[in-house]
Structure 1
Amino acid sequence: MTYRPTVRGRRLARELRRLRELQRLTLQEVADRLDWSRATVSRLETGQTRPKPNDIADLLDLYGVPSPQRDALITLAREAGQRGWWTAYADVFTGSYVALEDEASLIRTWDTQLIHGLLQTEDYARAVITAGRMLPTTEDIERRIDARKARQALLNRERAPQIHLIFDECVLKRPIGGPGVMRAQLEWLLELAERPQITIQVLPFEAREHAGLDGRFTILSFPDPADPDIAYVEGTMGDVYLESAEAIASHGERFERIMKQAMSPEDSAPLIAEAARSSP
């Protein structure tokens, strides 16, 4: 099973690299001293392999890391190595996004075509998945529907993340799944918008050119300051995760600009309601 690093896994990987660099050791030097391959050390530092507490302990001993920091990092390795609920859907979730989304405290997302997957109704999601994924069988489609419903469970947690959704007005005009499905989806959005942790804004046609013309993206923020934001861009040719400070700052500014041009949540709700009433 392919390992999908969690937020804790990425934090551990960054710390392992930092500790090695403090000792002025190369990947090959670490590998030689532990009788490992260079690739093994590299995969641990890039979060490409599930960390084993014993291996992490060996690295920390080599780097001379004392307790309590040593104990904390070994505990982090145990937590990072735990399998999340999404591993039951490894055939559906092929990237790291869901593992990261599951730990986010703030999700900011912009889309030009669709309602974000977390806020989709089952029928709307079925229409999107059927048309967009071009899957061979009904069973494949239903498998993805089940996975999406499992993913949406985070909306009802005691400590549910803050979600700030902005989408283009054209999303209201395209009757995904037909008028009835679209009406139910928009009514569900209005219900969700009443939750204190969910903010929904519509970017109107009157905004003309805007900072979101390059396409959809999501920014994930986490409760621990040690975990930097991650910008995620999904595409048909693969998913991209942006973690550099420059890339995150750029996407954060882009989101702020879109937000300023969008209608307020209070003004967006009547527009969504009108679109729902217009669906026969």
Structure 2
Amino acid sequence: MAGKDPDRGKTITTVLGRRLGGELLRMREACDLRQTHAAEALTASVTKVAKIERGQVPIRDPDVRALCHLYDEKDEAVIGKLLALAKADRGRRKAKGWWNQYPQLAAMVEYVALEDIATSIRTWELAFIPGLLQTPDYARAVAVGAGSWEDPREIEPFVEARLTRQARLRSERPLELWAVIHEGALRQLVGGRDVMRQQLGHLLDVATLDTVRIQVVPYLAGAHAGMIGAFSIVSFGEPGALDVVHMDVPSSTLWLESEEDAARHGRTFDRIARVGLAERNALDLIDTIRKEM
């Protein structure tokens, strides 16, 4: 995750800005044009064009259209997608989100900021319950188990921030969430039996929301496409129209920002969902495991 602290008023890059800049760069190079040509079309400096292509500054709709005209892009669907991307990026940059008061979220600030303006998220989890579905005790146990906090007092603000994120699920513009969870995450005794029993009950409760869909991939599914690792697809429109992919790796957070990467992970998610239990059966399994605890 690249960029400087937005609160300091300095140039920053954003995931959406880099996605848009990368698309515009690809279009320019396909036309064998230089940044000077783009600068002339925008009546701007070459430096500004370079910043646009690196995702460091927002871009206005007229400038998007001017560049599309220069690059001989006439497909309204393509132009519309770029305009939607520019609008979403401007919204992300203007947001003065609640997350800025939680330094404990420093490593996740870009994800949380995008989650706040997203329309839907598809998430695949192997090892634990997705953050948007965690109870306070479960989130606390995950934080303690991670062992990465130098000061244990930072855990409570982290838990509080995680609960604040969950407000999107019940807001006036609810986030659509499709979570596919491996059975192993349901059986892992995070925090002990009481914590897990409460957590599984919470899943059953949240699943009653019209905008939340929960599936489970059972052990009996055998080998499947999701064994390579967990990921989330964050959408800013209809799924597939404007997506970015988020993955956590041991040393950092990884964003896959290209349209090709998003489409590939979308297909992978669909394959995982197909081997998962139907929603009703998934909830029955969750309830059965809860009762066993």
Q: Which residue of 1 aligns with 2:127?
A: 113
Superposed CA offset, 1:32-65 (max 9, x none): 985675xx64333232x354x8xx69978x9799
Q: Which residue of 1 aligns with 2:245?
A: 231
Q: Which residue of 1 aligns with 2:51?
A: 43
Structure 1: which amino acid aligns with 2:209? R
Superposed CA offset, 1:131-157 (max 9, x none): 225101122212211221221121111
- The correspondence for 2:34, drawn from 8, 26, 33, is 26
Superposed CA RMSD: 3.5
How far apart are the structure 2 equivalents of 1:231 and 1:102? 15
Superposed CA offset, 1:211-260 (max 9, x none): 11101011122227996211211111212222333322221121111111
How far apart are the structure 2 equivalents of 1:143 and 1:130? 13
Contact 1:211–1:258 (8 Å) recurs in 2: yes
How far apart are the structure 1 equivalents of 2:61 and 2:266? 37
Say yes or no: does 1:188 pair with 2:199: no
User: Higher mean Cα deviation, 114-123 or 22-31?
Assistant: 22-31
- With over 3 angstroms needed to count, the CA separation of the structure-2 counterparts of 1:43 and 1:108, relative to structure 1, is same
Contact 2:176–2:211 (8 Å) recurs in 1: yes
Say yes or no: does 1:215 pair with 2:229: yes
Contact 1:228–1:243 (8 Å) recurs in 2: no
Q: Which residue of 2 aligns with 1:83?
A: 95
Residue identity (%)? 34
How far apart are the structure 2 equivalents of 1:155 and 1:64? 37
Q: Which residue of 2 aligns with 1:139?
A: 153
CA shift, 1:119, in A, is 0.6
Say yes or no: does 1:94 pair with 2:107: yes
How far apart are the structure 2 equivalents of 1:172 and 1:79? 36
Structure 2: which amino acid aligns with 1:44? I
Q: Which residue of 2 aligns with 1:123?
A: 137
Give the TM-score normalised by the residue count of structure 1. 0.79
Say yes or no: does 1:5 pair with 2:14: yes
- With over 3 angstroms needed to count, the CA separation of the structure-2 counterparts of 1:78 and 1:167, relative to structure 1, is closer
User: Higher mean Cα deviation, 174-183 or 128-137?
Assistant: 128-137
Say yes or no: does 1:171 pair with 2:179: no
Give the TM-score normalised by the residue count of structure 2. 0.76
Say yes or no: does 1:198 pair with 2:200: no
Aligned counterparts, 1:142-157, within 5 A: 142-157=156-171
- With over 3 angstroms needed to count, the CA separation of the structure-2 counterparts of 1:226 and 1:18, relative to structure 1, is farther
- With over 3 angstroms needed to count, the CA separation of the structure-2 counterparts of 1:257 and 1:102, relative to structure 1, is same
Say yes or no: does 1:244 pair with 2:252: no
Structure 2: which amino acid aligns with 1:94? A
- With over 3 angstroms needed to count, the CA separation of the structure-2 counterparts of 1:278 and 1:141, relative to structure 1, is same
Structure 2: which amino acid aligns with 1:245? E
State the secondary structure of the residue aligned to 2:213: strand
CA shift, 1:205, in A, is 0.9
Structure 1: which amino acid aligns with 2:105? V
Contact 1:50–1:80 (8 Å) recurs in 2: no
How many residues align structurally? 267
- With over 3 angstroms needed to count, the CA separation of the structure-2 counterparts of 1:12 and 1:174, relative to structure 1, is closer
How far apart are the structure 2 equivalents of 1:228 and 1:187? 33
How far apart are the structure 2 equivalents of 1:12 and 1:259? 29
State the secondary structure of the residue aligned to 1:213: helix
Structure 1: give runs of 5+ residues left out of the alignment: none
Structure 2: give runs of 5+ residues left out of the alignment: 7-11, 70-78
Superposed CA offset, 1:181-228 (max 9, x none): 111100000001111111111111111111111010111222279962
Structure 1: which amino acid aligns with 2:107? T
Structure 1: which amino acid aligns with 2:54? T
Bigger proportion of residues as helix: 2
How far apart are the structure 2 equivalents of 1:160 and 1:94? 24
CA shift, 1:87, in A, is 2.8
